[in-house]
Amino acid sequence: MRLPMESLKRHSAKAIVLFSALVVTGCGQPEPPPASALTDDMRAFTGNWTATGTRQVLDLGPGRQTGTFQLSGAMMLSGKQRLNLAFRAEVIGFSDPMTGLVGRSVWTDDRGDKVFSELRGEGVGPGKLIDGKFTGGTGRYSGLSGEYSFRWQRIGSIQGNELTGRVVGLNGWARLGSPEAVAPTTSGGQQ
């Protein structure tokens, strides 16, 4: 029996969420920032993200490879003030062992509202620290600011250009802004 494409997408999404939930319950959660460090409008969170994707590698000589990567998957957040329970998280980036990692990420919630962030880190290798900085969003996340960090953990070996992994120690904070605060200017300045 052949299932329609929409049915396959739903079943695939459910499998990713179930797998992520198993990962969340199977791993200890890092502690959020101390309450004394947060203000009333800051939302602390922890979470897990399981992702699959691809990479393109360029060999730059002995012991040096640089590359681009693109990953996506289910992200589950926890914490009383988390932004949302789950997102579809996507990231695209560049990693070089000499200069580190730079990337951009988009988290999309079940309503289609998006959270944008910039990533920087030591690299994309297992256990490397990656820091994220929120740069805004759409809908209810307009004007969002904050920070988060995590470490990448590969699941299984790399097959060709395919990557599979998860983040560990994902924690951070976010501050919701007012959409009016980030409205574009109409003057001739940079927008």
Please report the pLDDT score of residue 40 as a whole number. 58
What per-residue confidence (pLDDT) applies to 39?
52
Measured between alpha carbons, how far is residue 56 from residues 59, 104, 106, 158, 167 in Å?
A: 10, 17, 20, 12, 20
Closest C-alpha among 81, 71, 63 to residue 105: 71
- pLDDT for position 178: 61
Largest CA distance in the chain: 60
Query: Residues in the chain with pLDDT < 70?
Result: 1-40, 156-158, 178-191
Asked if 151 and 132 count as a contact pair (C-beta separation under 8 A), the reply is no
Q: Does any domain span residue 146?
A: yes
How many domains does one find in the chain?
1
What pLDDT score was predicted for residue 78?
94
Is residue 190 in a domain? no
Domain CATH for 22: 2.40.160
State the pTM of this model. Answer: 0.72
